[in-house]
Structure 1
Amino acid sequence: MIPVRRPAAPQATLQLLDRRTVTVRTTGATTAAARAEWRRAATPKARIRELLRGMAHGAERCMYCLDNYGTDIDHFQPIAVAPLRAFDWPNHLLACSRCNSNFKRDEYPCDAAGNCLLVDPSAEDPADHLLLLPSSGHYDALTPKGAATIRVFGLNRPDLVQGRRTAFVMTCAILRDWHAHGSAETAEALRQSPHADVLRSLERLDPGVAAQLLGGPAAEALARWRGAYAV
């Protein structure tokens, strides 16, 4: 998981969403009312999806796993928990069907004070709560929020772990190639590739750790990459 930047929605879109929220409120503000309104909201959903596609990494990747194509508009705070947030723009993220329907579903764990225990990549840096071990492809939790996020989204499911391992090998190879030839196309391909969390985890490595993990040529390439692209 990596941060995504949420743009301000156009005023016309916000007004459209607000009208739908008013309808949900006047029809009872229940989960059933919100879901019914969401099902028939073709135009609002199209506007939301367009905005989310612009936010998403690469080829419209899921904002949670960064592996699969983002097919679903996910309500970060589920409709079952907060019906009146069904049309709230800050509550929408792009997700794949596995993360959204097979794993997260209506889960919204909170701590004793009522604070959400899921990382919202549009509102905070996931690296504050999650540590990706790039060579193993495995996420470790740094905080209770990180632990809940790993569990709810299934971030350590076997296919994702294997995908990140493969991405680690490919990323190191592409970094070496980019370092040797300086191709802008190669750099862009790396930045847009699946499992962007692998590249981001490498960018955050201490130089000494990077040298031990990657070896000389790849570590040199990473150091140059940091100077050119890392934020």
Structure 2
Amino acid sequence: MIPLVRPELPPDLASDLDRRTRELATAKPDGGVARTKWRGARSTRSSLLGHLTLMAAGLGQCMYCGESRGTSIDHFEPITRAPQRAFDWLNHLLACSHCNSNEKREQYPCDTSGRCLLVDPSRQDPRDHLWLRLTTGCYEPRSAIGAETIRVFGLNRELLPRGRSAAFHVRRAVLRDALARGAADEHEEMAVCLRALAEQPFADVLYAMVDAAERPGAVEVLGRDVVEMLKRPEVNRLVWPH
């Protein structure tokens, strides 16, 4: 997972969501009624999907696993738990069909104080709760929130670690090739290279590489040449554009 910046919506869409939310508040519906109204708002859902796709990592990848294209709007706090948030823009995230229907579903674990134990990448930096071990592609928890996030979203489910590990080796090889060809001295070419890498599935791998470059042991994992390049301010700005 990577941190995401939630943009402001166009006034007409924001107004539409606000109107629908007020109607739900007045009706005080249960989850079934709210879901029916959500499913009936086809044009609203289509507009939201477009904005979520632009907000997502890569080319509209799932905001949870980062592997597959996002095709569904997930209600981070499920409609069954919070019917009044069905049209709340701050409650919408882009998910692939597997993460939405087979992993997260209606799960929303909380601690004894009611605090949600899942990372919302549009409100939190996942790095505060999750650590991606680049060599294995597995996520490891840094907190109770991280542990529940890994479990609920199935971040270490079959094939995902293997895909991330492969993505790491490919990205490192591409960066080394760019350095060998002298692309590091050609800012525009390097920018194109980094943007291309960021648009591939598992964008979280590239973010983790930049983060790892600042940590002890980075040379052993990334190589001295890649570490030096990833620590350059211009590279950080390209990988962390927000």
TM-score class normalised by the smaller sequence: over 0.9
TM-score (norm 2): 0.90
Q: How does 1:196-215 map to 2 (within 5 A)?
A: 196-205=203-212, 206=214, 208-215=216-223
How far the C-alpha of 1:207 sits from its partner, in A, is 5.6
Q: Which whole-Å CA distance do the structure 2 matches of 1:201 and 1:105 have between them? A: 27
How far the C-alpha of 1:131 sits from its partner, in A, is 0.4
1:67 alignment partner in structure 2:
67
For the Cα contact (< 8 Å) 1:73–1:94, is it kept in 2?
yes
How far the C-alpha of 1:177 sits from its partner, in A, is 1.6
Identity %: 46
Q: Which runs of 5+ in 2 are unaligned?
A: 184-188
1:147 alignment partner in structure 2:
147
Q: Which whole-Å CA distance do the structure 1 matches of 2:18 and 2:105 have between them? A: 24
Is 2:81 the partner of 1:100?
Answer: no
How far the C-alpha of 1:189 sits from its partner, in A, is 1.1
Runs of at least 4 residues off by over 6 Å: none
Q: Deviations over 1:115-146 (max 9, x none)?
A: 10000000010000000000100111000000
Q: Which whole-Å CA distance do the structure 1 matches of 2:91 and 2:235 have between them? A: 30
2:235 alignment partner in structure 1:
229
Q: Deviations over 1:82-122 (max 9, x none)?
A: 00000000000100011111000000000110010000000
How far the C-alpha of 1:69 sits from its partner, in A, is 0.5
2:111 alignment partner in structure 1:
111
For the Cα contact (< 8 Å) 1:129–1:145, is it kept in 2?
yes
Is 2:190 the partner of 1:187?
Answer: no
How far the C-alpha of 1:178 sits from its partner, in A, is 2.1
Q: Which whole-Å CA distance do the structure 2 matches of 1:221 and 1:51 have between them? A: 34
Q: 1:187 to 1:229 in 2, by over 3 A?
A: same
For the Cα contact (< 8 Å) 1:24–1:33, is it kept in 2?
no
Q: Which whole-Å CA distance do the structure 2 matches of 1:190 and 1:22 have between them? A: 42
Q: Which whole-Å CA distance do the structure 2 matches of 1:106 and 1:173 have between them? A: 40
SS at match of 1:151: helix
Q: How does 1:32-181 map to 2 (within 5 A)?
A: 32-181=32-181
Is 2:228 the partner of 1:220?
Answer: no
TM-score (norm 1): 0.94
Q: 1:142 to 1:222 in 2, by over 3 A?
A: same
How far the C-alpha of 1:8 sits from its partner, in A, is 1.1
2:24 alignment partner in structure 1:
24
Farther-moved stretch of structure 1 (19-28 vs 160-169): 19-28
Q: Which runs of 5+ in 1 are unaligned?
A: none
SS at match of 1:60: coil
Q: 1:92 to 1:11 in 2, by over 3 A?
A: same
For the Cα contact (< 8 Å) 1:207–1:223, is it kept in 2?
no
